[in-house]
Amino acid sequence: MEHELALNRLPFFKALVLPSEDGWQIRTLLSKHYNFSTGLIRQIKNHGVLLINNNASSMVAKVKPWDHIAIFLSYECKTNPELLPLTVIYEDDDLLIVNKEAGQIVHPRHQYISGTLANAIAGYLEKKGEQPASYLINRLDRGTSGLLLAAKNPLAAWILSNEINYMEKEYLALVAGVLERESGSIDLPIKDPENGMKRLISSVGKPARTDYYLLQQYKEAALLKISLKTGRTHQIRVHLSAIGHPIIGDDLYGEGNPFVQRPMLHAHFISFWHPRTGQICQGQAELPADFSQVIKMYQR
């Protein structure tokens, strides 16, 4: 029955055995040539269906040249699918790049069990007839807008998660004050709080580096392009505050602003190697309307 169900679904992985792989066990082929982790192979064994030429098989089976391998995996979706607004920048069989609105929480937690980005992605995929489970690779604070990357299957998630520190991620930030330099690097360790949410600069913190470039200087504010070299929680907000230029609208690391409803921080560009093809995959999101309006306030 499970085999029949598998044949009626799209596999999350397919491969054709090459002559050089003759006699290999499938688990060896998957780990050596396709970067499958031991955990993923175990997950397939326990919760998936492995077919060779449409016949059920096991991980220790040996393959022959031109055998067709197909793997089907039951995805555990812990998030309730909801039909919510979702802006998709890029999509293929393995991943999604979406543009998150400011104010939306990424994952269900505590009292926020619905209305999150994860709920929206699950609903979007379910409506398309795909498995509703997805794996969010990067994170954004609730008040930050911009690009988020989600994998559609465990293999893509594993590859992208291992690539996260090598991805090119750029942000736009509107900060308070006049900068003395047009560019610079902030290399200060960040310590997680013992209580509350606020992170601290501390010699016992984790290494963190943020590069910034001045795009436009206004009388009382500056528009910066930010490039992250590490991915600590609140890193951009902590670092910019530490050099005396907190993000406008950030009432946790700055003074806040009664006319600005959230931190003016936007994840506008991401570039990475595609987990299946190895080619460069990119996404870009223009500034949202509220960010543009705040910029106009400081242009006067």
Domain residue ranges in the chain: 10-73, 75-161, 167-287
Cα gap 298→293, rounded to integer Å:
9
The residue among 8, 10, 44 whose CA lies nearest residue 26 is 44
Nearest alpha-carbon partner for 130 in 248, 263, 12, 277: 12
- Which residues are annotated as catalytic? 141
289 burial (CB, 10 Å; 0-12 / 13-18 / 19+) is exposed
- When pLDDT is cut at 50, 70 and 90, the band that residue 34 belongs to is confident
Asked whether the predicted pLDDT for residue 134 surpasses 80, the reply is no
Specify the higher pLDDT residue, 154 or 60: 60
Amino acid at 83: L
pLDDT at 6 over 70: no
Average pLDDT over residues 40-63: 88
Q: How confident is the model at residue 248 (pLDDT cuts 50, 70, 90)?
A: very high
CB-CB contact of 168 with 268 (8 Å)? no
Q: For 212, what's the count of Cα atoms within 13 Å in the CB-facing half-sphere? A: 28
Which amino acid, one-letter code, is at 168?
Answer: E
pLDDT score at 194: 80
Domain 75-161 in CATH 3.30.2350.10: yes
User: What's the pLDDT score for residue 5?
Assistant: 45
Fold of 167-287: Pseudouridine synthase (3.30.2350)
- Judge whether residue 7 has pLDDT over 70: no
CATH number of 10-73: 3.10.290.10
Same fold, 75-161 and 167-287: yes
Structure pTM?
0.81
